[in-house]
Amino acid sequence: MILYSIMPLEVVFGNTDSSDNNFLEIEYEGEKVVVSQLSNNSYRVNRVISTSPKAYLNPKLMPGEIIEGLIK
């Protein structure tokens, strides 16, 4: 069986691990991204929420990239 969904795995299958993942939806470089906080002032990009193909080609928005100095 193959499941095609835009929903994160945690929503589809439930939270399978016990770690507390706090995701934030922010605007960075003019695009909406979902990030998780690593330390006081650094965040990891988890996914991009955009309809623009240019957003997915921006290396600063790649999932796994670290954003530092972000002000909420």
Distance CA 51, CA 25 (A): 16
- Domain map (residue ranges) of the chain: 22-68
Q: What percent of the chain has pLDDT over 90?
A: 43
Does pTM top 0.85 for this prediction? Answer: no
CA-nearest of 45, 39, 42, 31 to 70 is 42
Per-residue model confidence as pLDDT tens digits over 31-53: 999 999 888 888 999 999 999 99
